């Protein structure tokens, strides 16, 4: 397989995911965290994966990187990066792809950073592994990356430890680390969690600028639908490990078809004076859905295309 970057060609997806299922085998039973997932990521475009906590968003991200923690494992499906099947790669080969061609910004920058290593050392590790740089060349490139993500005094920051930086600064360092290998695909898992609104906007603007500069495909994982509306091209709504609806962002926000999508959108805070529906159904949401959307003993409904680019998980309507 050539190591060139066909992902730069915009007439084909960088990443094709088909039928991906990830289960956790616990003493209490099998937890089906991700089920029958189909996704396409395109160069220069942003796909947002949304849903409430526990719906399977973060496990999806870890599955794409083959970093699912025990007792979980990928039980079926396909993950193809520029036509190369990632699930068939030996572990060492997968490590070479991870960070180099596909990288991730993790939710909490404090857990993503090693507290006993300087920022410079953590950045140069990735540059040594993925770009073959060492010594002064690696340090210079590390400083360039920090400057690229908008950190002031980047040379000084190389000598700092994570606890010496603010939350927004740490998040920029994590982004710099993810970009060190010049990835084709960037997965951002709740990249603005615990940051104030001003810093959130700065981080998302930064990610958008970097995406355009490098023509990266971006998978944005978030429960913040306001942030998604402003930054995504397409949205996939996830519930109970399943994508229940997927559509271009404007189409989904203007005309959500699945009851769960409507529930999520009804929970978005409105401007003063506007009513807000915040009541959340009790118990499994499936029980509150019309029969057309509910799973049957044979399994969940299939995804069906209702219009161009709009997919809905439902049973066919009977005449």
Per the prediction, the chain carries an average pLDDT of 87
Q: Average pLDDT for residues 155-177, to the nearest whole number?
A: 92
Closest CA to 195 of 203, 207, 206: 203
Torsion angles phi and psi, residue 313, rounded to 5: -90, 105
CATH classification of the domain holding 276: 3.40.50.300
Q: At residue 111, does pLDDT exceed 70?
A: yes
Report residue 284's pLDDT band, with 50, 70 and 90 as the boundaries: low
SS3 32: strand
236 CB-side CA count, 13 A: 21
Q: Average pLDDT for residues 111-116, to the nearest whole number?
A: 88
Top pLDDT among 302 and 4 is at: 302
Number of domains composing the chain = 1
User: pTM for the full model?
Assistant: 0.87
- The answer to whether position 279 is within a domain reads yes
pLDDT score for 5: 42
Q: Average pLDDT for residues 5-18, to the nearest whole number?
A: 73
Among the residue ranges 69-73, 143-147, 211-215, 284-288, the one predicted with the least confidence is 284-288
- The answer to whether position 150 is within a domain reads no
pLDDT score for 192: 84
pLDDT score for 268: 66
Span 53-87, pLDDT tens digits: 889 999 999 999 999 999 999 999 999 999 999 99
Q: At residue 275, does pLDDT exceed 80?
A: no
- The answer to whether position 225 is within a domain reads yes
Q: At residue 96, does pLDDT exceed 80?
A: yes
**Tokens of residue 238, six digits:** 């996830």
Q: How far apart are CA 41 and CA 186, in angstroms?
A: 10
Q: Alpha-carbon torsion 312, 247, 53, 61, what sign?
A: positive
**Tokens of residue 141, six digits:** 């490139």
SS3 219: strand
Span 231-244, pLDDT tens digits: 999 999 999 999 99
Q: At residue 274, does pLDDT exceed 70?
A: no
- The answer to whether position 104 is within a domain reads yes
Q: Average pLDDT for residues 245-272, to the nearest whole number?
A: 85
CB 269 within 8 A of CB 277: no
Q: At residue 287, does pLDDT exceed 90?
A: no
pLDDT score for 273: 40
Report residue 280's pLDDT band, with 50, 70 and 90 as the boundaries: very low
Q: How far apart are CA 95 and CA 262, in angstroms?
A: 39
pLDDT score for 132: 85
- The answer to whether position 227 is within a domain reads yes
- The answer to whether position 148 is within a domain reads no
Q: Average pLDDT for residues 23-34, to the nearest whole number?
A: 95
User: Can you give the residue range of the structural domain that contains 283?
Assistant: 12-116+161-313
Specify burial of residue 83 (Cβ count, 10 A radius: 0-12, 13-18, 19+). Answer: exposed
pLDDT score for 2: 31
Q: How far apart are CA 4 and CA 82, in angstroms?
A: 10
């Amino acid at each position: 397989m050539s190591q060139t970057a066909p992902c730069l060609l915009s007439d084909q997806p960088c990443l094709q995911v088909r039928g991906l299922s990830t289960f956790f085998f616990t003493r209490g039973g099998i937890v089906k965290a991700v089920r029958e997932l189909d996704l396409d990521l395109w160069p220069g475009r942003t796909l947002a994966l949304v849903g409430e906590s526990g719906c399977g968003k973060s496990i999806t991200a870890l599955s794409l990187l083959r970093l699912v923690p025990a007792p979980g494992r990928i039980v079926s499906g396909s993950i193809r990066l520029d036509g190369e099947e990632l699930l068939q790669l030996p572990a060492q080969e997968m490590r070479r792809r991870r960070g180099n061609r596909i990288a991730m910004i993790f939710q909490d920058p404090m857990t993503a950073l090693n507290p006993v290593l300087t920022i410079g050392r953590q950045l140069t590790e990735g540059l040594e592994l993925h770009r073959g740089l060492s010594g002064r060349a690696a340090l210079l490139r590390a400083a360039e990356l920090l400057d690229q993500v908008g950190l002031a005094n980047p040379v000084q920051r190389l000598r700092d430890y994570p606890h010496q930086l603010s939350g927004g600064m740490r998040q920029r360092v994590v982004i710099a680390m993810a970009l060190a290998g010049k990835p084709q695909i960037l997965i951002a898992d709740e990249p603005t969690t615990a940051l104030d609104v001003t810093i959130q906007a700065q981080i998302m603007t930064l990610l958008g600028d970097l995406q355009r500069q490098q023509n990266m495909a971006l998978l944005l994982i978030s429960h913040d639908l306001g942030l998604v509306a402003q930054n995504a091209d397409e949205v996939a709504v996830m519930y109970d490990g399943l994508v229940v609806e997927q559509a271009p962002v404007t189409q989904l926000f203007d005309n959500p078809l699945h009851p769960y999508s409507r529930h999520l959108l009804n929970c978005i805070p409105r401007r003063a004076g506007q009513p807000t529906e915040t009541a959340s159904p009790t118990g499994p949401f499936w029980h509150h859905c019309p029969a057309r959307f509910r799973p049957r003993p044979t399994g969940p409904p299939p995804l069906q295309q209702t219009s161009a680019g709009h997919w809905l998980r439902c049973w066919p309507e009977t005449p």
